[in-house]
Amino acid sequence: MPEAEHPDTATNAPDEAELGFVALAAKLEPLGDRRFKLDGATGWMQGRTMYGGTAAFIAYCAARLAFPDLPPLRAAQVGFVAPVSEHLEVEVVMLRQGRSVAQVETSIYSEGALAQRTLWLFGAGRESNGSVAAATLPNLVQPEDSPRLTSSDMAPAFTARMDMRRADPAGGSPPGTIRRWVRLKHRAGLDPVAELVGLGDALPPGSARAMERIGPISSITWAFTLLGEVPETRDGWWLLETSSNHMRDGFSSETLRLWNSEGVEVMHGLQSVAVFG
């Protein structure tokens, strides 16, 4: 569907103590043999499925619970197989653990069916053999100087838990591109890496701006790499961008980027999107 404007506030927002990311992670209950369940994720849905970043966040937290000594997260490959309901189970499997790198698979089951499968890559740091600095975004306009988004009935329920502001560069973003400042309203005590996992998929695909007719859009895969071990930003603000690389025949290839408040890129991703209508 065309881009839905995400409000800074919303009247249908659930009780803030009910289920922010930290509270959501605390609801994971062990079922034994590295399997967990979560009953109720109120306020994190978008239509008939859970917001993809929330499902990935839950899976990441389950992996950390199952294997608490994992090194820092480096990358992930997320497959959105089927809709995820508010009630789910997560299975965690260690595929391989080497001296510095561990590969973990998580599978989310909803209503008894596989709904999401993710390969997580964790890796300990080692002595550098050369370096390349992360790219920095020029002419950055800070969120305090960016206009708030207006409320819209088309906004998914989960966006009520976030502050969002327009961040298109002067002259506007290129066709098929959306750029926004995003901040969780309730993030105290949240692991910064888990925060990026939860926020990295928060924007509509950039292809929403290129659609000729109103229709649904659905993420199929999402692969991302973290640029550094401990991401930092000011006051919880992250700059997100989705941009269509190619859109045709009902599919779009999207690049997803995320910068901190200094304009330093901290996450780089690629997503495959189904475009209907």
Tokens of 30: 């062990």
Does residue 166 fall inside a structural domain? yes
Tokens of 37: 């369940």
Does residue 223 fall inside a structural domain? yes
Does residue 60 fall inside a structural domain? yes
pLDDT recorded at residue 182: 96
Beta bridge partners of 87: 39
Does residue 276 contact residue 215 with C-beta atoms inside 8 Å?
yes
Does residue 135 contact residue 91 with C-beta atoms inside 8 Å?
no
Return d(Cα 137, Cα 154) in angstroms, integer: 30
At how many degrees (to 10) do helices 52-66 and 192-199 cross?
A: 150
pLDDT recorded at residue 151: 65
Does residue 15 fall inside a structural domain? no
The reply to whether the predicted model has a pTM over 0.85 is yes
Which CATH number is 150's domain given?
2.40.160.210
Does residue 82 fall inside a structural domain? yes
Return d(Cα 90, Cα 104) in angstroms, integer: 13
Number of domains in the chain: 1
pLDDT recorded at residue 32: 87
Does residue 1 fall inside a structural domain? no
pLDDT recorded at residue 15: 52
- Residue 157 in 3-state DSSP? helix
Which residue range(s) make up the domain with 185?
A: 21-125+135-275
Does residue 221 fall inside a structural domain? yes
Does residue 5 fall inside a structural domain? no
Q: What is the pLDDT along the chain (277 residues), one digit of tens a residue?
A: 333 333 333 334 445 545 799 999 999 999 988 999 999 998 899 888 999 999 999 999 999 999 999 999 999 999 999 999 999 999 999 999 999 999 999 999 999 999 999 999 999 999 999 999 999 999 899 999 999 987 664 478 888 899 999 998 888 888 899 999 999 999 899 999 999 999 999 999 999 988 999 888 899 999 999 999 999 999 999 999 999 999 999 999 999 999 999 999 999 999 999 999 7
pLDDT recorded at residue 265: 98
pLDDT recorded at residue 14: 44
